[in-house]
Amino acid sequence: MSAKPDLKIVLCSPRGFCAGVVRAIDTVERALDKYGAPVYVRHEIVHNKYVVDGLKKKGAIFVEELAEIPENTTAPVVFSAHGVPKSVPADATSRNLFSLDATCPLVTKVHREAAIHFKRGREIFLIGHSHHPEVVGTLGQLPVGAVTLIETADDAKTIAPKDPNNLAFVTQTTLSIDDTAEIVALLKERFPNINGPHKEDICYATTNRQLAVKKVAPVVDALIVVGAPNSSNSQRLREVAEREGCPIAVLAQRAAEIDWKRFEKITSLGITAGASAPEVIVEEIMDAFAERFTLHVETVSAAEENEFFPLPRQVRPEAAAE
């Protein structure tokens, strides 16, 4: 039997779950523990099939709209980490549904910024991807027409506001740092008085994971991003790897998805994971490579993370003692 070829694995750090994702998943699990099944969740709690399937097995029922939830239920209804339009909690209240808001606090920060700009009479630009649930939620914080979506640099070059001196912008939290910087620079060049966030809207987890990929992508033959196709921050990691010159950059939800022919001749592999991807899948993929290669593992770190977001009050441990 021939010896397995050597493969250097470079793990990106940080990778995987961020504080907002941990809070959202814990909210559903605590609700199941405290109130029992079912717990309804509007939209995927986070964009990861493994996580969603695991919660389904425990008794979570995922719906896209509140209309799918039975009348007169006393079961909790959880809003996903991506945030929801204002109409959703209003609808929940009108139906007397017991709702738990698992919106990431960093998304809520963007909602609040947009509301302040609106109150001050500013025309608002939202830099983001149309139809992504976070963008739908942010647009839905304010009346129709109050916020204009900017998706590309071309949009930033051509947008024609009513009053160029009374503008503000906010951004989706999971965008490419470089793409967003280009769009913001164009807006500031065209509209020098535009108001931006005090602290960047792209969240710490998105930023840190992209910085780690920027370090690793140029020095490996291939890079795998553990994440789902509908996960914005995971797709951005793959794009960052490609932009940094990595010859093979792919997204994989599970080891079974890997096209092994593409990896036959590599001698080094970077691995990262989107903010909604669990570490158990990183381990599963490493095990799959270990069956074919002799692994030599190292870690490259771009930042330390110790962020923590408290759970919604109704499912905090101390709430049980009240």
Split at pLDDT 50, 70, 90, the class of 322 is very low
Domains 19-104 and 106-190 share a fold: no
Mean pLDDT of the chain: 96
- Whole-angstrom distance, CA of residue 284 vs CA of residue 275: 17
* Angle of CA points 304, 216, 270, to nearest 5°: 100
Q: Within 13 Å, how many C-alpha atoms sit on residue 174's CB side? A: 28
| Residue-wise pLDDT tens digits, 66-117 | 999 999 999 999 999 999 999 999 999 999 999 999 999 999 999 999 999 9
Q: For the chain, what is the radius of gyration of the CA atoms?
A: 21
- The string of DSSP letters for 77-115 reads EEEPTT---THHHHHHHHTT-EEEE---HHHHHHHHHHH
Q: Is 233 annotated as a binding residue?
A: yes
- Whole-angstrom distance, CA of residue 149 vs CA of residue 169: 10
Q: What residues does each domain of the chain span?
A: 6-17+204-301, 19-104, 106-190
Q: Is 12 annotated as a binding residue?
A: no
Please determine, looking at this structure, whether the domain spanning 19-104 carries the CATH number 3.40.50.11270.
yes
Cβ burial of 34 (10 Å; 0-12, 13-18, 19+) is middle
> Which positions are annotated as active-site residues?
134
| Residue-wise pLDDT tens digits, 206-236 | 999 999 999 999 999 999 999 999 999 999 9
DSSP label at residue 195: B
| Residue-wise pLDDT tens digits, 304-317 | 999 999 999 999 98
Q: Is 165 annotated as a binding residue?
A: no
Q: Which fold has domain 106-190?
A: Cobalt-precorrin-4 Transmethylase; domain 1 (3.40.1010)
Q: Within 13 Å, how many C-alpha atoms sit on residue 181's CB side? A: 4
Helix (H) or strand (E) holding 28: helix 19-35
Q: Within 13 Å, how many C-alpha atoms sit on residue 21's CB side? A: 25
- Whole-angstrom distance, CA of residue 263 vs CA of residue 28: 38
The CATH class for the domain spanning 6-17+204-301 reads alpha beta
Q: Is 82 annotated as a binding residue?
A: yes
Does the pTM surpass 0.85? The reply is yes
- Whole-angstrom distance, CA of residue 240 vs CA of residue 183: 16
Q: Is 276 annotated as a binding residue?
A: yes
